[in-house]
Amino acid sequence: MYAQALDQTDTRPAQGDDPARLAAFQARIDAEQKIEPNHWMPEAYRRTLIRQIAQHAHSEIIGMQPEGNWITRAPSLRRKVALLAKVQDECGHGLYLYAAAETLGVSRAALVDQLLAGTAKYSSIFNYPTLSWADIGAIGWLVDGAAIMNQIPLCRCSYGPYARAMIRVCKEESFHQRQGYEIICSLAGGTPEQRAMAQDALNRWWWPCLMMFGPPDTESQHSDQSTRWKIKRFSNDELRQTFIDATVPQAHRLGLTLPDPDLHLDQATGHWRYGAIDWAEFRAVLRGEGPCNRDRLARRNAAHAEGEWVREAASAYAAKQNQRKAA
């Protein structure tokens, strides 16, 4: 659900890639044909994709936690079922994406180990806490909304397995986004307390959501190669602007205020112009210093460690069954 533009093109020098093969590879991409797992590809392309798909998968798995925080407290049975199903979808996306990464020759176990060790990145947004029920609406509306902006172009990504995975993921995300907006609509049209809850959630999630698109284009070092490889189709700032233009009218329709005193409509271009994003906060969260980084990783590590005896038992049982069959 939540790919983040982290400018992750592999910059290590290409080692002896055959110029003829490179040219054929680039020609294939330029012709909008997909690269498949059995095709030759430059190592840097492979490493870039592994890192991006893995970060995306990790984000799905870590993203289960902030929303999972409200499953047991969902305010109606309908909301409870929808939220549990949504978080389950995220787990499914994670599995699906790890499988796409595996087509590039890396194992899921190795990628999960990197996540558990804290050496892999995931979307910064999940390091913020969900403090009220309105946060569940805000995550669907804003976080999934931002993710969709990032991910729709990935459906046309040059790497076939990733592009095909994203088609399915985007369909589910778009459902989640509408579900989240519907929660916010109910709150905005509810009691004064519910309205305040919705406004508070918007105040807390707005800026971190804008950060999901990654650093401004002026600081973005490595987009060129990803663009040539058709992994990335739009710049961070372009996607951010599209998201803001789509979302501001939705907030206004609900009578909610965006927490940006500088926000205004540029009549000439039709774009909403926004105030300065606190990139120091973004960098701090990426460094592991967000409000929930430690909790999120600790929970994932705990689940993994506590499940070890179960996984061992399953393997031991399977081995015994194989022995019995062989005997």
For 174, residues 6+ apart whose C-beta sits below 8 A from its C-beta are 148
Question: 179: part of which helix (H) or strand (E)?
Answer: helix 160-188
Regarding 306 and contact with another protein (CB under 8 A), the answer is yes
What is the smallest separation between the CB atom of 3 and another protein, expressed in angstroms? 18
Regarding 271 and contact with another protein (CB under 8 A), the answer is no
Angle separating helix axes 308-326 and 293-306, nearest 10 degrees: 30
Residues 235-264 that bind another protein (CB under 8 A): none
DSSP one-letter code for 232: -
What is the smallest separation between the CB atom of 148 and another protein, expressed in angstroms? 22
Regarding 310 and contact with another protein (CB under 8 A), the answer is yes
- Identify the residue among 15, 20, 309, 325 touching another protein (CB under 8 A): 309
Per the CB < 8 A criterion, the answer to whether 24 and 43 are in contact is no
Tell me the chain's radius of gyration from C-alpha atoms. Answer: 21
Regarding 131 and contact with another protein (CB under 8 A), the answer is no
Regarding 298 and contact with another protein (CB under 8 A), the answer is no
Q: Per this entry, what is the length of the chain?
A: 327
Residues 60-79 that bind another protein (CB under 8 A): 61, 64-65, 68, 71-79
What is the CA 213 to chain-centroid distance, rounded? 10
Per the CB < 8 A criterion, the answer to whether 111 and 101 are in contact is yes
Tell me the window of 24-32, 229-237, 284-292, 307-315 that interacts with another protein (CB under 8 A): 307-315
The nearer residue to another protein, 38 or 76, going by C-beta atoms, is: 76
What is the smallest separation between the CB atom of 210 and another protein, expressed in angstroms? 26
What is the CA 164 to chain-centroid distance, rounded? 16
Q: 276 is written with which tokens?
A: 């300065």
Residues near another protein (CB under 8 A):
61, 64-65, 68, 71-81, 84-85, 87-88, 91-92, 94-95, 133, 183, 186-187, 190-191, 193-194, 299-300, 302-303, 306-314, 316-317, 320
